[in-house]
Amino acid sequence: MPSSHLILCRPLLLLPPILPSISVFSSEATLCTRWPKCWSFSFSIIPSKNKEHPGLISFRMDWLDLLAVQGTLKMPSLPLCAFLLRFHHTTPVACCFSKTLSGEKYTDPFKLGWRDLKGLYEDIRKELFISTAELKEMSEYYFDGKGKAFRPIIVVLMARACNIHHNNSRNVQASQRAIALIAEMIHTASLVHDDVIDDASSRRGKHTVNKIWGEKKAVLAGDLILSAASIALARVGNTTVISILTQVIEDLVRGEFLQLGSKENENERFAHYLEKTFKKTASLIANSCKAVSVLGCPDPAVHEIAFEYGKNVGIAFQLIDDVLDFTSCSDQMGKPTSADLKLGLATGPVLFACQQFPEMNAMIMRRFSSPGDVDRARQYVLQSDGVQQTTYLAQRYCHKAVREISKLRPSPERDALIQLSEIVLSRDK
C-alpha cells in the first residue's frame, strides 16, 4: 500500500547491496514504526514537482536489510514529494521488529558477545589445572586468544536471547557462560586429535601441536582438554545439560568415522556428506545452544528453536568452509587450501561438480589418491557451478536459522544472532 511516510534510514549492516542511505520525505507528521510482518519492499520515487529529487530510484531490499534500518521521524521543511512505497509480502514469518529494549546500537555481534566472554581464555586455562609444565603448555596452546571464538559467541548470545525471551532477564547465568567455555574446549580437543589424524602441520597460522611435540603427546593433550571439559560440565550440576553435551562428544567421533568411509552410491553421498557435516560441526553448536536454552528457560519450544538455529548455522558454516577451501588462497585461512581434496574428502562443491562432470566419480571413489587427481578435481570444481550451488545451499540453511531464531522475543542478542548467520555466509576466512 502506498504510504507517505517519512523514513530516514541509516543502515547498520554494511552489506554491499545497500546504498549508503535512503531518504523518503513525507508530509505526515507521525510515523508508524511498527512492522508487524516482514516485508521486502521496493519503492519507486515518482518524479516530483520539486526538482530537488529528480529521477527514478527503485531497488529491492530484502527484510534482512530492513532490520538494519532504523526509522526516525523528521518534519519536512520541504515541499511535498510523493513517494510510492510498495510493500511486498515475502515469507509469512512472525517477526517483530521494534525498538530494542535497551535501545542499544550494535554493529558487530562479536563485540556484543565478547562483553560476556572477557577472560574466556584465562578461565579455560584455569580449568586445565595440571602440574606438568609441558602437558599444560600443550593443552593451553590453542587457548591463546587468537581463535575466532565463534562458538562461545553464539552460545552467550543465545543464552541472553533465551533469558530475555523467558523473563526479560538481562543476565547471563554463570552456568551458561560455563557452557561457552565447555563448547570451546570440546571443539579444541577435537581439533587437536583431528590434526594428528590428518597429519596437519599448521592451524590458525601456527604449527600444530603434533608437529611440535609429536603425535603421542598431542593425543594426550586432546584427552586432557576433553577431561577438563567434562569436569567443568559436571560442575554445572545439571544432568540434562550433561546428557546434551556428551551427545556432542559422541557425534564428533562418529562424524570422524563417517569421514573415513565413503559411499559408492552417488545419491547416498550427499546425505552422507550432510550427516557428517552435522555430526562434525553443527552438533556442537546446536547442542550448546540447546544447553544454554535449557538453563535459561523451561519451555521446550525454545530449546527446539535454539537447537535448530545452532544446527542450521553450523551446517551453513561448514558448507562455506568447504567452499572457501576452493576459493580462497592460503594466507587468508591460516591453513592451506585444497586441504579437503588432499585428504581424499569429497565436499559439497565436489559433489555438485560431479553431477556435471561424471568423470569425477572415479576420482572420488579412490579419494583423489592418484597423482594429479587433486588438481584435476579442483579444476572441475572451479569450472562447474559447484561453488555456487554449495553457497546457495548454505544460504538456505542460514535463512532457516534466521526463521527459527526470529521466533524469540526481540533483543539485541537475537538480532546479533541473525546478523551472525549473515556473517557466516559472507566470511572469507
Partner 1 sequence: MSLRQLLLRLPRYLGASGPLRGPLDTISSVISWRGQSSRSPAQWSQVVSEAEKIVGYPTSFMSLRCLLSDELSNIAMQVRKLVGTQHPLLTTARWWREDGEQCSFQMSRSKGLVHDSQNNLQLRGLVVLLISKAAGPNSVNASCQNYDMVSGIYSCQRSLAEITELIHTALLVHRGIVNLNELQSSDGPLKDMQFGNKIAILSGDFLLANACNGLALLQNTKVVELLASALMDLVQGVYYENSTLAKENHITDDIGISTWKKQTFLSHGALLAKSCQAAMELAKHDAEVQDMAFQYGKHMAMSHKINSDLQPFIKEKTSDSLSFNLNSAPVVLHQEFLGRDLWIKQIGEAQEKGRLDYAKLRETIKAGKGVTSAIDLCRYHGNKALEALESFPPSEARTALENIVFAVTRFS
Q: Would you tell me which residues interact with partner 1 (CB under 8 A)?
A: 130-132, 135, 193, 196-197, 199, 214-217, 219-220, 223-224, 226-228, 230-231, 233-239, 242-243, 246-247, 249-250, 252-254, 256-257, 260-261
Give min distance, CB of 14 to partner 1, in A: 42
The Cα 329–Cα 327 span in angstroms is: 7
Q: What separation, in Å, do the N-terminal and C-terminal C-alpha atoms of the chain show?
A: 42
Give min distance, CB of 86 to partner 1, in A: 54
Tell me, letter by letter, the H, E, C secondary structure of 47-103: CCCCCCCCCCCEEEECHHHHHCCCCCCCCCCCCCCCEEEEEEEEEEEEEEECCCCCC
Give min distance, CB of 2 to partner 1, in A: 59
Give min distance, CB of 199 to partner 1, in A: 6
- Site of grid cell 597460522: 205
User: Residue 202: is it exposed, middle or buried by C-beta count within 10 angstroms (0-12/13-18/19+)?
Assistant: middle
Residue number, 138 or 158, with CB nearest to partner 1? 138
Give min distance, CB of 173 to partner 1, in A: 16
The partner residues of 39 in beta bridges, in order of sequence, read 89
Assess contact for 241 and 291: CB atoms under 8 A.
yes
**What DSSP state is assigned to residue 172?**
P
The Cα 98–Cα 71 span in angstroms is: 10
The partner residues of 84 in beta bridges, in order of sequence, read 44
- Which residues, 6 or more positions from 85, have their beta carbon under 8 angstroms from its beta carbon? 2, 3, 5, 24, 41, 43
Give min distance, CB of 293 to partner 1, in A: 18
Give min distance, CB of 197 to partner 1, in A: 5
Q: What's CA 305's distance to the chain center, in Å?
A: 15
Residue number, 112 or 346, with CB nearest to partner 1? 346
The Cα 402–Cα 416 span in angstroms is: 11
Give min distance, CB of 381 to partner 1, in A: 26
Extract the C-alpha cell encoding 54.
529528480
Helix residue ranges per DSSP H, 141-173: 150-167
